[in-house]
Amino acid sequence: MDEALKAKFTSIVGAKHALGASADQEPFLTEWRGRWTGKTPLVLRPGSTNEVAATVALANETKTAIVPQGGNTGLVGGQIPDESGSQIVISLGRMDKIRTIDPEGMTIIVDAGAVLQTVQDTAAAHDCLFPLSLASKGSATIGGNLSTNAGGVGALSYGVARDLCLGLEVVLPNGDVLDDLNILKKNNTGYDLRNLFIGAEGTLGIITGASLKLFPKPKALSTSFVALNSPTDALALLRKAQSVAGEALTAFELISSFGLEITVKHQTGMRNPLSADYPWYVLLEVSSLEGSDHGDGLMAGIVEGGFTDGLLQDGTIAASEAQRGQLWGLREGISESQRHEGGSLKHDISVPVAKLPAFMEEAEALVLDWEPAARICAFGHLGDGNLHYNITQPPGDDKAGFLARGNVFSPKLHDLVVAYGGSISAEHGIGQMKTRDLLTYKSPVAMALMQSIKATLDPNLIMNPGKVLSR
């Protein structure tokens, strides 16, 4: 990029917010696990929708590629520019305001760069709940959450990011602003444009604001950690828990023995809360609108029923907020703990819930046939049929060699997922990691439709090229 164009971009956001020096750019150019790195002439940090619009209009006029970025917690490399050094990064981090909150109407309107944790805390301060929740909530932004259609632990009861969004403000690839911060539940006035941008991973426009749904804040949470012999038992427990608690069952997370083992080993202050080791664990949570007696009663009904039916081997119910935090720490520490065990093949998959146990049995046989010493780290949102089916390298194996061999193996696992009627990307998206997989598994009709939407909205292909679609 020539200096004159750099100066034009810089003048839109101000010199202080146009980062050209490599030391300043570094946090925006590396994905948190170091898996993807890129180069850029400029990281721009606009402070308003008008600044985003002016930046995008100039990029369109000069055919400059743009990579939108929120909290840089994405797991498929969508937020990282390529190695060409020609793509500019637009970080929404400065646009982090809560615009308005309406506790009566149960809606909140926020800037796209608002951090998820801040939105949750603001809702809580008004006695409301914003239920989207991910382990990355301290850094991930609402714009990123919507662009990836994030799932997380609350999806079981409240739905994914798409279900929580009422409207959007979006800067289109030509610089126009689509102002559709709808707060109506019912609004059937033509195509649902909002849903074009949710899950588009920044390839169709830049989300600058969002109107979101709020829910009544639960009066009490009851959380337990139970041990089981198999995923089949976990599925039976899920059905029992749903029949006892209905929508009040707000989390049902599966953890493998290996997942617990490495979390206890690598995360400070973590321990197995049970007196022995078991093959599988479930972290489940009930949210009561009535109070702790009601919530605890529901949880007791689930756990007692689980023991009576022979599904549970052991279990504990959190007796305090601190204990609840400890139990959640066991679940939320798994991803980070895997980093300490060497290379890991990630598969963010979903299959129809009822088929999960059969899928897991077949998948395990497939993995161990390929690499008998591999360690399967399967964990996640069992209630949504969504597992992080990760495969950790054998101890002492060469990391690069394992990952290279794994890249040849992973398509076999994805073939199995698809044979079970599942998805090869349940919640993390496509980014730059899975563009080839998308071509393999998505129907040609769907691919052609996506290409034509892209060509209509972004004829100059400036918005996050190389992500989702291969151009």
72, 250, 263, 338: which one contacts ligand FAD (CB under 6 A)? 72
Q: Which helix (H) or strand (E) holds 260?
A: helix 257-266
Whichever of 27 and 401 has its CB closer to ligand FAD, that residue is 27
Q: Which amino acid appears at position 126 of this protein? A: H
Q: Determine if 344 is a binding residue for ligand FAD (CB under 6 A).
A: no
For the purposes of burial, counting CB atoms within 10 Å of the CB of 32, is it exposed (0-12), middle (13-18) or buried (19 or more)? middle
Q: Determine if 383 is a binding residue for ligand FAD (CB under 6 A).
A: no
Q: Determine if 209 is a binding residue for ligand FAD (CB under 6 A).
A: no
Q: Long-range contacts made by residues 441-445, C-beta under 8 angstroms, separation at least 24?
A: 441/414
Any idea what DSSP says for residue 166? E
Least Å distance, CB 186 to ligand FAD, is 26
Q: Determine if 250 is a binding residue for ligand FAD (CB under 6 A).
A: no
d(CA 7, CA 10): 5
Question: Looking at 133-141, 217-225, 259-267, 288-296, which segment touches ligand FAD (CB under 6 A)?
Answer: 133-141
Pick out residues in 159-188 that bind ligand FAD (CB under 6 A): none
d(CA 101, CA 105): 9
Residue span 420-439 as binding mask against ligand FAD, x where in contact by CB under 6 A, dash where not: -------xx--x--------
Whichever of 27 and 85 has its CB closer to ligand FAD, that residue is 27
Q: Determine if 78 is a binding residue for ligand FAD (CB under 6 A).
A: yes
d(CA 430, CA 438): 7
Instruction: Identify the residue whose tokens are 């969504």.
Output: 386
10, 40, 79, 87: which one contacts ligand FAD (CB under 6 A)? 79
Q: Which amino acid appears at position 427 of this protein? A: E
Question: Looking at 185-193, 202-210, 252-260, 417-425, which segment touches ligand FAD (CB under 6 A)?
Answer: 202-210
d(CA 54, CA 48): 10
Residues 6+ apart with CB under 8 A from 301: 244, 245
State the CB neighbour count (10 A cutoff) for residue 342.
17
6, 17, 30, 32: which one contacts ligand FAD (CB under 6 A)? 32
162 close to 213: Cβ distance less than 8 angstroms = no
Q: Determine if 70 is a binding residue for ligand FAD (CB under 6 A).
A: yes
Q: Determine if 370 is a binding residue for ligand FAD (CB under 6 A).
A: no
Binding site for ligand FAD (CB under 6 A): 32, 67-75, 78-79, 92, 112, 134-136, 140-141, 143-145, 147-148, 150-152, 201-202, 206-207, 335, 427-428, 431, 464, 467
